[in-house]
Structure 1
Amino acid sequence: MNPSSMFTALSIFTTFASIIPVYHFIYRFLHIAPCLQGEGPGLLIYPRRPAKEEQGYQAEAAALARRGSMYFRRGQPQRAIELYSRALAMAGDEAVLYLRRGEACYQAGQYQQALSDCEQALRLQPALAEAHYLRGRICTRLAAYQQALSSYTRALELDAGLATLIYPERAALYQRLKDPHAALHDYCRALEYSPHEASLIFQRALVYLQLREPRQAIVDLNSVLQARPNFACAYHYRALASLYLQDLAGARQDCQRATTLNPMHIDHGWLACWVTLCEERPNERLAERLQALARTAPEQYVALLCQAASAWIRGEQAEAQAAISRAQTAAGADEHWGAPFWQAVIWVTSGHEAEAHQALREALIRGLPLPLLSPLRWANPGFYGHYARALLEA
């Protein structure tokens, strides 16, 4: 090829090399412009997944979810959370996947994230009963008790098959909210499904005690003790039920059994000492026993009552008053009858009978079983005869 021909060919090639990208750009622009305006064929920049590819993603998401469920059942919630999150990234918004991740977060103690996932599940599927149930459990953990109640109730409306789970949990929630009648209803319903479940029977017995139905409580506690004969708490509460029936001998026997089974349980020991004071004069041995109980949990309500009673037995009235004053400000003190009764004992010992009488009235209003008035006779026989004997003999 001569130089002139080579020059001509090079010029043509250079011209086409410079023009082709421009034409290519113009072509591409004209082709995608309708798409940018919402017209024309499907997305070209980000094409839709082919159907087979979409099915592949869904299958992989389902496999990840199954693995997540496996780790969840094994008690490895963090690993389950990771797998459910990956499944959600592939499958997009799916109510059941949010629910499952919420369950794993709940198991991991991540309650706020669990609640968020529950809300997402319910946004996508408002009638998903399991999500309402899980939301009830989460709200209970977060102390949002009214929201928990509404969630449990809604779950039960949507799926009666959740009754075996919801009735026991809602009953416990009613107990926490101090609604014993509603709690009793739910425990009775729960026992229709699980009539031999000792833990449910025991909780119902406590509700019967709260409602001052000691005979029903004893029936339930007897049933519990048939199934669990070494259950110290059942003996303790049966002793309390016997006291409401003014059966001091039965109460003493059950107190002995409870303390034998669990000698350092402060509640069992305290009730046993109080019952002993109903029949025996105070003595140093009893004061030492009370002090030993108090040392197991020094600032608890019952421990402070033990300290007060021990100091009173030893004639240390200032120490007794200091302990009972702390007891009256402890958590739960405004509902229990122990502090006002022992305040009455301390005051009547010091000759403040009017104040003692007022404290005694408060103890009785809160539900003090009448036989537990008996230690007053060691403090002031005249006061005891005037205010307490008539009640015990009625």
Structure 2
Amino acid sequence: MHSIWRLVLFSLIAMVSAITHGNWQAAYAEKELEASVLQRRAEMECRQGDWRRALLDLDQAILLKPHSGDLYLDRAKAKASNGDVPGAISDCSQSIKLDPKAIEAYVLRGKFELDREAYKKALADSNQVLRLNSRSSAGFFIRGCAKSELGDRSGALLDFNEALRLNPRDAYTLFQRGWLKSSLNDFKGAVADYSASIQVDPDPVVYINRGYAYMDLKDYPRAIEDFNSAVRLDCSLSKAYYGRALVKWHSKDFRGSVEDNSIAIKLNPEYAEAFVNRGCSRHDLGNFEEAFADYKEAIRIKPELAKAYTSRANTWLAVKNFKATLEDCKKALSLDPKDPETYYYRGLARRGLKDAAGAKQDFEEALKLDSDYRQARDALSTIK
């Protein structure tokens, strides 16, 4: 009798266990399905730019499916697009914790670290990407950006070269390599990279940077064409007007330079460099009081901008206030001790104050820094 009841009891336990297990499986499948629906809806909301709703859906999906690294990655992208870069980095880290070989998580985190200027962390993430996949163009790109910002420009150039060997039509890598070449004074190489980037994606920012490279090559007609193209593509970019103002100043179109600098300042009232260049143009038009006002505003905005003091020193020279020239040159040289123009202006002021020995020393220093500085050479020849 006991054995019969024991058999019945075991049968009941088995039935309850089967029912419970079946319910658990059904509940798990239901959660998986609901999380997938929420994830797909969040993707659509992201495409529409509705980051708030996307984040709400992804939060709910993660509650239903907390061990999904993909969900954390999706939420990281949404957070970054919504301006929450620290939150995006945190989600990438959680994705990596769930799957230490998740390359995309390291790539995304590396890019986000670049955005917040945490270059050593970006470098570490890019190295991990390349350990997991030695042919990752994204890994080389991130590492190149990090190295460039950390001062290893030759290493950065090698990484950008490798990234482009693996993905030769990546517009942003071409742009970054162009920018790096400009910083290395390889302006022809920069123009080539910017041009290749524009062929893939005609971005106004790339036109602006190519315009500056052409300006460094003294190819002013092409430079102004690029700044014009940037303005046509996006008339809200203050740097396009400032670049065009610089070209006009170099071309001695001082009124045109004042106009473009004024537009740049209207778009960005804190644009110190535009105030300086407008001051220089007003100086060349003989409007010294307006020039002084522009330099004063530039210094208020950016007191560490050496060019503002150097330019004001030149205008002090024009009104023969040699002592004020010396003061501004002293300040400028404390900020940038290798600017030949500042030494030249100080030399002129010292000559005006009958300090021939000091003037000679400054003209010689200007020529030491720039052996092609004709005005400094001519001024030196006047010192007995």
Query: TM-score, structure 1 length as denominator?
Result: 0.64
Over 3 Å counting, the alpha-carbon distance change for 1:79 and 1:187 in structure 2 is same
Give the equivalent residue in structure 2 for 1:194.
167
Q: 1:120-135 alignment to 2 at 5 Å?
A: 120-135=94-109
Could you tell me which amino acid in structure 2 is paired with residue 241 of structure 1? A
Alignment length, in residue pairs?
337
Give the equivalent residue in structure 2 for 1:64.
34
Asked if the contact 2:113–2:122 (Cα under 8 Å) also holds between the matched residues in 1, the reply is yes
Deviation (angstroms), 1:253:
0.8
Give the equivalent residue in structure 1 for 2:128.
154
Asked if the contact 1:239–1:255 (Cα under 8 Å) also holds between the matched residues in 2, the reply is yes
Give the equivalent residue in structure 2 for 1:209.
182
Give the equivalent residue in structure 2 for 1:312.
283
Q: Deviations over 1:292-316 (max 9, x none)?
A: 5433433212331233224423444
Asked if the contact 1:111–1:138 (Cα under 8 Å) also holds between the matched residues in 2, the reply is yes
Over 3 Å counting, the alpha-carbon distance change for 1:86 and 1:260 in structure 2 is closer
Asked if the contact 1:266–1:296 (Cα under 8 Å) also holds between the matched residues in 2, the reply is yes
SS in 2 for 1:191: helix
SS in 2 for 1:190: helix
Could you tell me which amino acid in structure 1 is paired with residue 265 of structure 2? A
Measured in 1, the distance between the counterparts of 2:112 and 2:211 equals 36
Selected match of 1:254 from 208, 222, 230: 222
Measured in 2, the distance between the counterparts of 1:364 and 1:255 equals 29
Asked if the contact 2:141–2:163 (Cα under 8 Å) also holds between the matched residues in 1, the reply is yes
What RMSD, in angstroms, separates the aligned Cα atoms of the two structures?
A: 4.8
Could you tell me which amino acid in structure 2 is paired with residue 321 of structure 1? F
Deviation (angstroms), 1:67:
2.0
Measured in 2, the distance between the counterparts of 1:297 and 1:242 equals 24
Deviation (angstroms), 1:254:
1.6
Give the equivalent residue in structure 1 for 2:213.
241
Over 3 Å counting, the alpha-carbon distance change for 1:344 and 1:224 in structure 2 is farther
Unaligned ranges ≥5, structure 2? 1-16, 353-358, 378-384
Over 3 Å counting, the alpha-carbon distance change for 1:117 and 1:347 in structure 2 is same
Query: TM-score, structure 2 length as denominator?
Result: 0.65
Measured in 2, the distance between the counterparts of 1:148 and 1:62 equals 34
Give the equivalent residue in structure 2 for 1:218.
191
Measured in 2, the distance between the counterparts of 1:155 and 1:74 equals 29
Q: Deviations over 1:339-379 (max 9, x none)?
A: 3552443343344365676648976947x9x9xx9999xx9
Give the equivalent residue in structure 1 for 2:317.
348
Asked if the contact 2:309–2:329 (Cα under 8 Å) also holds between the matched residues in 1, the reply is no
Over 3 Å counting, the alpha-carbon distance change for 1:241 and 1:117 in structure 2 is closer
Asked if the contact 2:106–2:125 (Cα under 8 Å) also holds between the matched residues in 1, the reply is yes
Deviation (angstroms), 1:207:
1.0
Q: Percent identity at matched positions?
A: 21
Deviation (angstroms), 1:70:
1.6
Give the equivalent residue in structure 1 for 2:372.
391
SS in 2 for 1:391: coil
Deviation (angstroms), 1:233:
5.1
Q: Which moved more, 1:190-199 or 1:165-174?
A: 165-174
Give the equivalent residue in structure 2 for 1:30.
none
Q: Deviations over 1:159-198 (max 9, x none)?
A: 446x233443454455555654444333222212221233
Asked if the contact 1:67–1:80 (Cα under 8 Å) also holds between the matched residues in 2, the reply is no
Selected match of 2:273 from 302, 308, 311: 302
Over 3 Å counting, the alpha-carbon distance change for 1:303 and 1:122 in structure 2 is same
Over 3 Å counting, the alpha-carbon distance change for 1:124 and 1:286 in structure 2 is closer
Residue 51 (1) aligns with residue 21 (2) = yes
Over 3 Å counting, the alpha-carbon distance change for 1:56 and 1:270 in structure 2 is same
Q: Deviations over 1:206-236 (max 9, x none)?
A: 11111122232133234345556x7665555
Give the equivalent residue in structure 2 for 1:185.
158
Measured in 2, the distance between the counterparts of 1:115 and 1:234 equals 28
Deviation (angstroms), 1:139:
3.8
Unaligned ranges ≥5, structure 1? 1-46
Deviation (angstroms), 1:83:
4.9
Selected match of 1:324 from 295, 300, 309: 295
Measured in 1, the distance between the counterparts of 2:64 and 2:239 equals 55
Q: Deviations over 1:100-119 (max 9, x none)?
A: 44444444444454444444
Deviation (angstroms), 1:136:
2.9
Could you tell me which amino acid in structure 2 is paired with residue 51 of structure 1? H
Larger RCO: Structure 1 or Structure 2 (Cα < 8 Å, ≥ 6 residues apart)?
1
Asked if the contact 2:106–2:128 (Cα under 8 Å) also holds between the matched residues in 1, the reply is yes
SS in 1 for 2:277: helix
Over 3 Å counting, the alpha-carbon distance change for 1:142 and 1:219 in structure 2 is closer
Measured in 1, the distance between the counterparts of 2:78 and 2:19 equals 31
Asked if the contact 1:232–1:257 (Cα under 8 Å) also holds between the matched residues in 2, the reply is no
Asked if the contact 1:68–1:83 (Cα under 8 Å) also holds between the matched residues in 2, the reply is yes
Deviation (angstroms), 1:391:
1.8
